[in-house]
Amino acid sequence: MDTTDADPAAAGDTAGALAAATAGDPATGLRAVRSLRVLADRLETLQVGRARELGWSWQDIADALGVSRQAVHQKHHRRTP
Domain positions in the chain: 7-76
pLDDT of residue 29: 87
Distance (Å, rounded) from C-alpha 35 to C-alpha 5? Answer: 12
**pLDDT tens by residue, the chain, 81 residues:** 344 445 555 556 778 877 877 778 899 888 888 988 999 999 999 999 999 999 999 999 999 999 999 999 999 998 765
Radius of gyration of the chain (CA): 16
User: Where does the chain have alpha helices with state H?
Assistant: 14-21, 26-53, 58-65, 69-76
Quick check: pTM over 0.85? no
Asked whether 9 and 39 are in contact (CB, 8 A), the reply is yes
Distance (Å, rounded) from C-alpha 44 to C-alpha 24? Answer: 29
pLDDT of residue 13: 73
